[in-house]
Amino acid sequence: MRLGFLYAGQGSQRPGMGADLYEAYPAFRAVLDSGAAELDLKKLCFADSGGLLDQTRYTQPCMVAFAAGVTAVLRERGIAPSAAAGLSLGEYSALHAAGVFDAQTAIRTAAFRGQAMERAAQGIESAMVAVLGLDRASLEAACREARGMAVIANYNCPGQLVLGGERAAVERAAALAREKGARRCLPLNVSGPFHTPLMASAGRELEEYLRTVPLAEPAIPVIFNCLGGTGPEGADIRELLVRQVQSSVYMEDSIRAMAGLGVDAVVEIGPGRALSGFVRRTVPAMPVYAVETVPDVESLPAWLEGLEKEKKS
């Protein structure tokens, strides 16, 4: 069974995430107790004192730690990916799953990335808006017509796109999107214009930081957000990560690319099930299973066994 692992990104975090996994599995516990990035990851994930978990500088290392812990638990059970991808921040977890980063390096790098993104967002009057029920070409036209900095930051799945950029331009683009037939335009509660050119300073900081980070060659195909595919052989991963923080996330394309690699099923790892919804809307025939809790982990082998039986019948 060829599995694709798909990792959740920032925005799906929730207080208490991973608490049951921590109690049940030593492999998960080892990651959260590692002290990576000099953070009390357990306290941040479980207690969320003062809403720290929703601050980008803390969200990002916590999400990557959660994913690394789940990946370790699944590996102990002989469940490993044949390909990996992630939504935005989740790309770091995909690279960890592929052996590019060890867990502590992935967490430290995510912590730095979160801090750099917070700094880049300071002083910018920005907005992000989810646009439902409109095609890419129409929303791209709305961005051009809006003038100013408004771009499609996320191509999540058919019928779900996200605008980002300067607030006034994004609001104009959203109004134009409604005129062009968008079903709904929903403002998102985010702290910056993520995955837009307004994150260029975060890209520069990340470029400098990544020069100090040791990277291994990926052991499995990794699908990159900014490409919507695996990219050319020998692609510079550091360069792609710098590009990713300030350019669009092609999640729909990434899901199609994963299906094109011949995976039999997708396992979503992370709090929530948003990516499972993206998979179902993008490649409806692809089986997908979300892992967030102990029951999810314990039920996964039976689910995979059922798929194996179906495949053989």
Catalytic residues: 88, 195
C-alpha–C-alpha distance, residues 170 and 6, integer Å: 29
Read off the tokens for 196.
């837009």
Q: Residue 194 in contact with residue 89, Cβ under 8 Å?
A: no
Read off the tokens for 133.
């029920």
Q: Residue 24 in contact with residue 294, Cβ under 8 Å?
A: yes
**How large is the angle between the packed helices 237-244 and 200-210, nearest 10 degrees?**
160
**Whole-Å CA distances, 83 to 2, 53, 71, 127, 258:** 8, 29, 13, 33, 7
| Cβ neighbours of residue 66 closer than 8 Å, sequence gap 6 or more | 17, 18, 45, 270, 271
